[in-house]
Each structure stands twice: as structure tokens, then as C-alpha cells.
Amino acid sequence: MQASSRSLSVSATTKARISRRRAELFEQFIPIELPRILLGYGPVPAVVSTTDQNGPWDQPGSSRTVHLADGSTAREQVTACERPGHFAYRVGEFSGYVRHLATEANGEWWFTETGQGTDVVWTYSFTARSRPAQLILLPIVKLLWRGFMRVGMRTFGELTESEVSTTPTDSSATAA
């Protein structure tokens, strides 16, 4: 009997408060170039480019190929985009070592307005191929992948907080 994919899930979550209004931050997030924020962490390679995008990145069903610094690739597909609060995607067709451990991964970003900016939560869940693969994935995801996510979240926050808006309606969005 095969275990359900939910029971084979291994997840990591990272959170940050970013000093930008939620709607503005979400609009900066959608077109972000992954190599600008996903810089790598230890043995987890950086994203170096994306290619073969079909469709706008805020439309469910749109997909692209993500290229990593170690030469591996994965296919990423938008599964949900609900402005300005939620974005979700599925990653599969792994070409690197991950293909031996996981069938797919699912990412979700949540944006919640606060009095001090926007709370951003990013959760990433791998679906392991088997129980032994899950046992191997567990420390990789909890230690290394979570570190990769934290660096990405921190870089995203720094990048968005440092960019000065050029439109008058957005000029007051940056908190001191």
C-alpha cells in the first residue's frame, strides 16, 4: 500500500515583515526576476535564469523553466494568484538530484497588511517519492532549503524596501 502524497510531504516556512503596503509589494513580487532573490545557500544552488515562460506570471497555468547554478532545471507552474494576498505554484520535472527524492514541490506566498507594513509568509512543500526519500529530504528541507528560503525572503525584502517608487500614489508607501 502506497502512502498518500500528503503524508510524504516535507515543508519549510519562512516569514518576514516588509515595510511596504501589501498591494504595492504584491505588484513588485509578481514580476521579480528569480536570480535577483534566490541566491543559493550552502549546497542549494542559486537560480541563474528562467526560460520558456508561456503566459503572464499572474495567470494560473502559466509556466517556465528555472535554471540553477549547478546546471539542473525544474519546471514551475502558477497554480493560484489572488491579488494582493496569495500566490501559489507547483514545481516539477526536476533534472538534478532532487528528482530522486521528490515528485514535485508546491510553494505558497501569503501577504497580510499590518500597521507596520506587510507580513509575508512563504511555505514550500516537497512531496517525497517514498518514505526513505522522505527521511533523506527531512534534514535537507528543514536545514538547507529553509536557509535558502530565508536568504531569498531577506533579499526580496531588502530589494523591495530599497526601490523607490516613481509614481506619486506610491511615494508614501515606504515606511521610515
The pair phi, psi for residue 29, each rounded to 5°, is -70, -45
Each domain of the chain, given as residue ranges in start order, spans 9-162
Full DSSP string of 46-81: PEEEEEEEES-TTSTT-EEEEEETTS-EEEEEEEEE
Give the per-residue pLDDT at 163: 74
Kindly report the average pLDDT of the chain as a whole number: 91
166 pLDDT higher than 70: no
CATH class of 9-162: alpha beta
Q: What does each C-alpha distance from 84 to 24, 81, 114, 127 come to in angstroms?
A: 8, 8, 13, 27
H-helix segments, the chain: 22-29, 34-37, 131-139, 146-162
Q: Which of 5-9, 29-33, 132-136 has the lowest mean pLDDT?
A: 5-9
pLDDT digits (tens, 9 = 90+) for 112-131: 999 989 999 999 999 999 99
- pLDDT tier, 162 (very low <50, low <70, confident <90, very high otherwise): confident
Predicted pLDDT at 6: 62
- pTM for the model stands at 0.88
Number of helices (H), then strands (E), belonging to the chain: the values are: 4, 7
